[in-house]
Amino acid sequence: MPSAPLPSDEAERLVALRSLDLLDTPASEVFNSFVRVASRLFAVPLAAISLVDAERQWFKATVGLPMNETSRDASFSAYVILQPDEVLWVPDARLDPRFCDNPNVLGASRIRFYAGVSLIGEDGHAVGTLSIADQKSRLLNEDEIASLRDLATGVSAAIRLHGMMRRLEQDARSDPLTSLGNRREFETSLKPFGSESVALFLLDLDGFKGINDVFGHPGGDLALQEVGRRLQAAIRSGDCAFRLGGDEFALICPGMATAEARFSLAERIHAAMADTFMIDGQTVPLRTSIGIAVLPDHAGSPQELVHLADVALYDAKRAGRGTTRQAGHLPDQSGEGPSSEPGLSVHGSGSGIGLISLADRLRRALVPVGSEPFTLVFQPVVALSTQRTSSLEALVRWDLGPDGSISASEFVTLAERLGLIAHLDRWVLAAACKAAAGWPEPWLVSINVSALSFGLVDVVAMVEDALATSGLPAARLVIEMTETAFGGDVSRAREAVEGIRALGARISLDDFGAGHGSLSTLRQLPFTGMKIDRSLVANIGTDPTAAHMVRLIADFGCALDVRVVAEGVETVEQLCAVAECGVSLVQGYLLAKPAVVGDVVQAVRDAERIVTVSLGGRIPPERLTGVPQVMRSRVT
């Protein structure tokens, strides 16, 4: 058997392959579905998606092949990637000098017919193949060759999307300003600590607002970067520093078991901060308050650990600048003491009301049930192909009366932190289903449910309840899982997602592409739809990567047969661009702002008219089907 020749771009090709971060990853439904389609479409017993590594071909998905990998020399794929633009097909491998003594031809696999096409990664390099094979010899006609090529386009899109999402996930873990881990990374890092001893330091800079006021935001940024550097220099090698947001930092110090070691680190940090730091020739005073808690000494779980460190920090803050407090040594529990509301250091609340009383009001609003001060508004989602409204998304509002207002994201996050989110989601579900039951038949209602609720309560029962009480048919309900906070028990979430589907409702993944590890969530849970995050839509006209990603997500969504909505469409240009990318449903301020229940009909009319006028024949109708090139051969 001749050893397989190498393509001329081999070195770059391998770099492109590695950058996808797809080799040796677990099986995935997305890729499995592609090989199943290939096997059915061509009526062959064998189909595979393989990646061609330096010495081996590794199978990401297979039908009819028992192995995970073969040597590169024994692969057909090694030949396919020599001509990335061509479909390589062999009617009978016994008659082809390249393959006649191949072990897969001579051995138990007895391959006769083979056809393969390259999968293209970033920068156009062929990273692997989509292959079909049979133990009988056969021919391929022109249509079949074209279909195989189309299918490979879909797989290539899925592969590149995987790579991009992996990079986004990386970026999503670090704070761009200081390069320290961000809050999400902090939560992930803390989760594994069960009974192992770990000390948590929470830090909040003293008087940081003053630095921002005097030196402006650029000065504030410099100060935060400097704090990041000084923290890194102060900690031990196994410790980790994070920026949680604003001027909040955290340190996770595994095995720091003695109070002496902890206070000595705290002292090193205070000393490091006190060292001179200058901006524009002026000395900038950097000081921080520190709260410490230790697992298992003070807390039984990582969650409780954060709570207690937060309480200690709050106490340190009240004691004055540059103070350290440790949990269990709180001198003052009286008055408006910190223990009344630990863990609430959400900054920048738009309301004039203090955070602690806000949390109190939220709790009183939600428990017990009955007197909720919330309202709902609804925003249309329009199908581009028909230019008709497909659904309305329910969005919750909370009017604080004379204390002003607070954005949905803020109080939803607060409810999540207080463990109250399931109460809020239950209220919204009931109220939104009730409203939707009175709407015209074709309109669905989309309801946001926090991923955290999936871990806290029986979401399926909650949905079933809301449907039964309102009389809304399940087929008219879409649950949007807002997954920024997803980090819970996957098998439990999967059961819930499957349960919701079993009721006959749909379930969609919100904010896809925002970099919250969405692809891994999508892979693990059987969603029927996804919403492209507003940040991608906002940048679609200016950032080629955003446009590229929207196109990939649209292709990918259609290949998986899931509804893809682009949210946050604000301009005609964005509308046309997402339509061009193959997205089939749109939502955003351009079409209609969220409307109170009495104005829903008007909002729907406006939205439909604006879509019709904005598209105005600019995009050819066949482009608006939402069915990507790759699947059309299958559908028609």
Q: Is 337 left (phi over 0), alpha (psi -120 to 50) or beta?
A: beta
User: Interface with ligand C2E includes 482 (CB under 6 A)?
Assistant: yes
The answer to whether 90 touches 113, Cβ cutoff 8 Å, is yes
The total of other beta-carbon atoms located within 10 Å of residue 175's CB is 20
User: Interface with ligand C2E includes 73 (CB under 6 A)?
Assistant: no
Least separation in angstroms between CB 138 and ligand C2E: 49
Least separation in angstroms between CB 425 and Mg ion: 12
The answer to whether 432 touches 505, Cβ cutoff 8 Å, is no
For the segment 451-490, give every residue that binds Mg ion (CB under 5 A): 480
Q: Is 247 a catalytic residue?
A: yes
Coil, helix or strand at residue 324: strand
CB nearer to Mg ion: pick between 226 and 567: 567
For residue 570, the partner it binds in ligand C2E, Mg ion, none, with Cβ less than 5 to 8 A by kind, is ligand C2E
Number of residues that bind ligand C2E (CB under 6 A): 24
Least separation in angstroms between CB 482 and ligand C2E: 4
Q: Contact region for ligand C2E (CB under 6 A) — 139-147, 305-313, 567-575, 600-608?
A: 567-575
Furthest-apart CA atoms within the chain: distance in Å: 90
Question: How far is the CA of 344 from the CAs of 200, 289, 615, in angstroms?
Answer: 17, 16, 46
In 31-187, where do the E strands start and end? 46-52, 56-63, 69-71, 87-90, 113-120, 126-134
Residue 543 contacts by C-beta under 8 Å, 6 or more apart in sequence? Answer: none
Q: Contact region for ligand C2E (CB under 6 A) — 75-83, 382-390, 445-453, 499-507?
A: 445-453
- Using CB under 5 A, which of 175, 204, 510, 608 touches Mg ion? 510
- Using CB under 5 A, which of 425, 511, 555, 608 touches Mg ion? 511
User: Interface with ligand C2E includes 570 (CB under 6 A)?
Assistant: yes
Q: Contact region for ligand C2E (CB under 6 A) — 28-36, 257-265, 284-292, 444-452?
A: 444-452
Question: How far is the CA of 487 from the CAs of 3, 16, 263, 482, 611, in angstroms?
Answer: 46, 30, 32, 12, 37
Number of residues that bind Mg ion (CB under 5 A): 4
Which residue out of 134, 175, 206, 247 is catalytically annotated? Answer: 247
For residue 104, the partner it binds in ligand C2E, Mg ion, none, with Cβ less than 5 to 8 A by kind, is none
- Using CB under 6 A, which of 295, 396, 530, 536 touches ligand C2E? 396
The answer to whether 541 touches 514, Cβ cutoff 8 Å, is no
Q: Contact region for ligand C2E (CB under 6 A) — 206-214, 470-478, 561-569, 620-628?
A: 561-569
User: Interface with ligand C2E includes 409 (CB under 6 A)?
Assistant: yes
Sheet holding 240-245, edge to edge: 240-245, 248-254, 198-205, 288-295, 324-326
Coil, helix or strand at residue 446: strand
Least separation in angstroms between CB 394 and ligand C2E: 6
Least separation in angstroms between CB 479 and Mg ion: 10
Q: Contact region for ligand C2E (CB under 6 A) — 252-260, 357-365, 380-388, 443-451?
A: 443-451
CA 42/CA 65 separation, integer angstroms: 16
User: Interface with ligand C2E includes 536 (CB under 6 A)?
Assistant: no
Place of tokens 């999400």: 184
User: Interface with ligand C2E includes 483 (CB under 6 A)?
Assistant: no
CB nearer to Mg ion: pick between 317 and 531: 531
- Using CB under 6 A, which of 381, 412, 418, 579 touches ligand C2E? 412
Place of tokens 């082809």: 96
Q: Is 37 left (phi over 0), alpha (psi -120 to 50) or beta?
A: alpha
Coil, helix or strand at residue 102: coil
Alpha helices (H) in 451-599, listed in sequence order = 451-456, 459-470, 490-503, 518-524, 534-538, 544-559, 572-580
The answer to whether 474 touches 504, Cβ cutoff 8 Å, is yes
Q: Residue 18 corresponds to which amino acid?
A: R
The total of other beta-carbon atoms located within 10 Å of residue 412's CB is 23
For residue 144, the partner it binds in Mg ion, ligand C2E, none, with Cβ less than 5 to 8 A by kind, is none
CA 5/CA 35 separation, integer angstroms: 26
Pairing of strands 248-254, 56-63: unpaired
For residue 450, the partner it binds in ligand C2E, Mg ion, none, with Cβ less than 5 to 8 A by kind, is ligand C2E
CB nearer to ligand C2E: pick between 256 and 428: 428
- Using CB under 5 A, which of 75, 379, 448, 584 touches Mg ion? 448
- Using CB under 6 A, which of 315, 483, 510, 608 touches ligand C2E? 510
User: Interface with Mg ion includes 425 (CB under 5 A)?
Assistant: no
- Using CB under 6 A, which of 240, 259, 395, 490 touches ligand C2E? 395
Q: Which residues are catalytic?
A: 247
Instruction: Summarize as ranges the residues that interact with ligand C2E (CB under 6 A).
Output: 379, 395-396, 407-409, 412, 425, 428, 448-450, 480, 482, 510-511, 534, 567-570, 588-589, 594
Instruction: Summarize as ranges the residues that interact with Mg ion (CB under 5 A).
Output: 448, 480, 510-511
